[in-house]
Amino acid sequence: MVKIIKVKLKDMGDYIPKMFLILIVALTVITGIGIAFASEYTIEIRIAPATLNINKVDDKCITVHAGIPYSDFIGTTDTLTLNGAGVDSTKADNCGNLVAKFDRTEIVELVMDSDVTLELVLNGTTKNDDLITGSDVIQVKR
């Protein structure tokens, strides 16, 4: 004989969140698919050169010195952008922090309509899928 037990959801109280958590853990173990929650961080950056001379052709790149470890970006440096321009190269500085270089001509094209100052914004995703953003203001000289 099968006995049917009726339980109202309001009688379950704290058990529903616990059962949901157990279900998520079980699905993760069985399928290998997990749920990750990405974080977003604002980091400090410094742009070099501090003054962008539109008419000077000697500078080949815009360099971003970021206050975040380079090791956080191993394998994901291609996600880095500066005002939408893709990164050319990356490396670690003497402190192990991220240094990213961007093509100067791409940045100059973005700033042709700029006034005397320009805010440049670095965006990217770390190897842990955390989103980072940082900005710095530089001078623009024509």
33-66 pLDDT, tens digit per residue, is 555 556 899 999 999 999 888 877 766 899 999 9
pLDDT attached to residue 53: 85
| Sign of the alpha-carbon torsion through 90, 130, 82, 114 | negative
Domains of the chain with bracketed CATH: 40-141 (2.60.40)
pLDDT attached to residue 105: 87
Looking only at the bridges linking them, the beta strands covering 85-92 and 97-103 are: antiparallel
Residue appearing with tokens 């360099």: 63
Give the span between the Cα atoms of 4 and 133, in whole angstroms. Answer: 56
